[in-house]
Amino acid sequence: MNVYETKSFAETVKGNSYVGRGIVIGMSKDAKKAVSAYFIMGRSVNSRNRVFDKTDDGIIIHAFEPEKLSDPSLVIYSPVRRYGSRLIVTNGDQTDTVYDFLEQNETDSAFEAALETREFEPDGPNWTPRISGMLSFGENTFVYKMSILKSADAQGTACNRFSFTYSPLAGLGHFIHTYNCDGNPIPTFTGEPERVEIPDDIDAFTNEIWESLDADNKVSLYVTYTDLETGKEETRIINKNVK
């Protein structure tokens, strides 16, 4: 087994109809840009009834048709927020928890400290994991962390917490998602974040992710490339639901 094997995003999700929500963080092939992506999928009407909207410091999820929204508790949140030199990306309202901890103490350890106060989602029998990432920018460089909080057993009696810290490598991204595949209950993601290739072009990567996700279950996608020299951001958002 080659532990350093790196596949394209398309190869990684090929034939998998439901990886749930996913985060990709890494560096472009030319080593000039920090890259992050977040997508959501859905099987229920409530989960599919969503769109991404850009905000001043990131993105927020809104109901596409508010009158059809049955339960906002786990589907409406801000998955991406920027605090100073840090960019937070998560699959739930723990985005705000990390943001609040950074306000209290702006250090990298705020990421783990914030997530110590949270656990997996209370949606048994799936017990959907909370996945999170944070990019911390310095002068012409960055580092990033990823985390998953998941149930220790099928009954949801305890929470296991796993954190990963990465130094960026050109063309390499790490991909973490909530589920291994579709099922009932849906099997939780296992192992370390997967290694995926990241191209230089934001549109190429955006299209690759979007076209690789299952056509019936994909809902929305966000991708941003941050120039490490200038700090300039390029962002793409795709919503399956378009008015």
Q: What is the percent of the chain where pLDDT is above 90?
A: 93
Confidence of residue 1 (pLDDT cuts 50, 70, 90): confident
pLDDT exceeds 70 at position 175:
yes
What pLDDT was estimated at residue 55? Answer: 95
What pLDDT was estimated at residue 199? Answer: 98
pLDDT exceeds 80 at position 188:
yes
Pairing of strands 233-239, 58-63: unpaired
What pLDDT was estimated at residue 70? Answer: 86
pLDDT in tens, 44-59: 999 999 999 999 999 9
| Angle subtended at Cα 19 by Cα 117 and Cα 197, rounded to the nearest 5 degrees | 95
Rounded alpha-carbon distances, angstroms, from residue 90 to 15, 142, 222, 230: 25, 18, 12, 25
State the Cα–Cα distance between residues 133 and 235, nearest whole angstrom.
17
pLDDT in tens, 93-108: 999 999 999 999 888 8
| Ramachandran area for residue 110 (φ above 0: left; ψ -120 to 50: alpha; else beta) | alpha
State the Cα–Cα distance between residues 28 and 235, nearest whole angstrom.
14
What pLDDT was estimated at residue 108? Answer: 83
Say if residue 41 is exposed, middle or buried (CB neighbours under 10 Å; 0-12, 13-18, 19+). buried
- Provide the 3-class DSSP secondary structure of residue 27: strand
State the Cα–Cα distance between residues 203 and 208, nearest whole angstrom.
8
Q: Average of pLDDT values for 207-232?
A: 98
Look at residues 67, 20, 70, 56 and name the one whose alpha carbon lies nearest to residue 41: 20
pLDDT exceeds 70 at position 243:
no
pLDDT in tens, 127-140: 999 999 999 999 99
CB 24 within 8 A of CB 174: yes
pLDDT exceeds 70 at position 145:
yes
Rounded alpha-carbon distances, angstroms, from residue 105 to 12, 99, 113, 166: 37, 10, 10, 21
State the Cα–Cα distance between residues 165 and 144, nearest whole angstrom.
6
β-sheet with 33-41: strand ranges across: 194-197, 172-177, 22-27, 33-41, 218-227, 233-239
Q: Which amino acid, 203? A: D
The model's pTM is: 0.97
| Angle subtended at Cα 190 by Cα 188 and Cα 194, rounded to the nearest 5 degrees | 120
Rounded alpha-carbon distances, angstroms, from residue 6 to 72, 80, 123: 37, 26, 33
Q: Please, what are the domains in the chain? A: 18-239 (3.60.20.20)
pLDDT exceeds 90 at position 165:
yes
pLDDT in tens, 27-45: 999 999 999 999 999 999 9
Which residues have a Cβ under 8 Å from the Cβ of 30 and sit 6 or more positions away?
170, 200
State the Cα–Cα distance between residues 116 and 118, nearest whole angstrom.
6
